[in-house]
Homo-oligomer: A and B are copies of this chain.
Amino acid sequence: MPKHAKLNFTLDEYASRLDKTRAVMLARNIDCLIVVDPSNMAWLTGYDGWSFYTHQCVILRQDHQPIWWGRGIDAPGAVRTTYLDEHNILSYPDYFVQSDSCHPMDHLSRVLGELHLEQGSVGVEMENYYFSAAAFMSLQKHLPAAKLIDATALVNWQRIIKSEQELGYMRSAARIVENMHARIFDIIEPGLAKNELAAEIFHTGIKGVDEHWGDYPAILPLLPTGMDATAAHLTWDNSRLKAGDITFFEIAGCHKRYHCPLSRTISLGKPPQKYLDAEKAVLEAMHAGLENARPGKLCEDIAIAFFDTLEKHGFTKDNRTGYSIGMSYPPDWGERTISLRRGDRTELQKNMTFHFMPALWLDDGGLEITESVVLTDSGYESLANVEQRLLVK
Tell me the A residues contacting B by CB distance below 8 Å.
4, 6, 48-53, 71-77, 79-81, 93-95, 97-100, 103, 124, 126-137, 150, 152-153, 193, 195-196, 198-200, 202-208, 211, 213-216, 219-220, 222, 227-228, 230-238, 318-320, 323, 330-332, 334, 336, 339, 341, 343, 361
Chain B contacts of A320 at CB under 8 A?
94, 97
CA distance A126 to B105 in the complex (A): 13
Chain B residues in 8 Å Cβ range of A343 = 95
For the complex formed, measure the closest distance between the CB of A129 and the CB atoms of chain B, giving whole angstroms. 5
A134 touches which of B71, B94, B150, B215 (Cβ 8 Å): B150
Q: Which listed residue, B73, B133, B234, B323, touches A127 by the CB 8 Å rule?
A: B133
| CB <8 Å contact, B334 and A331 | no
Provide the bound-state CA to CA distance between A237 and B254, in Å. 12
> Which residues in B have their C-beta under 8 angstroms from that of A130?
129
Complex CA gap A218/B191 in Å reads 28
Interface centre among A4, A94, A95, A134 (most CB of B within 10 A): A134
Pick from B94, B137, B204: contact of A318, CB under 8 Å: B94
Bound-state CA distance A103–B127 (Å) is: 9
> A198 CA to B232 CA in the complex, in Å?
28
* Closest Cβ neighbor of A332 among chain B residues: B53
Shortest Cβ distance from A380 into chain B, in angstroms?
22
Contacts of A74 in B (CB 8 A): 231-233
Residues of the B chain whose Cβ atoms lie less than 8 Å from the Cβ of A200: 203
Candidates B77, B137, B204, B319; contact of A231 at CB < 8 Å: B77
**Chain B residues closer than 8 Å to A233, beta-carbon distance:** 49-51, 73-74, 77
Q: Which residues of B contact A48 (CB under 8 A)?
A: 234-235
Distance in angstroms between the alpha carbons of A4 and B239 in the assembled complex: 14
A319: chain B residues at CB < 8 Å are: 72-73, 94, 97
Given known A-B contacts A129-B132, A343-B95, A206 and B198 have beta carbons under 8 A apart: yes
Q: Cβ of A216 and Cβ of B220 under 8 Å apart?
A: yes
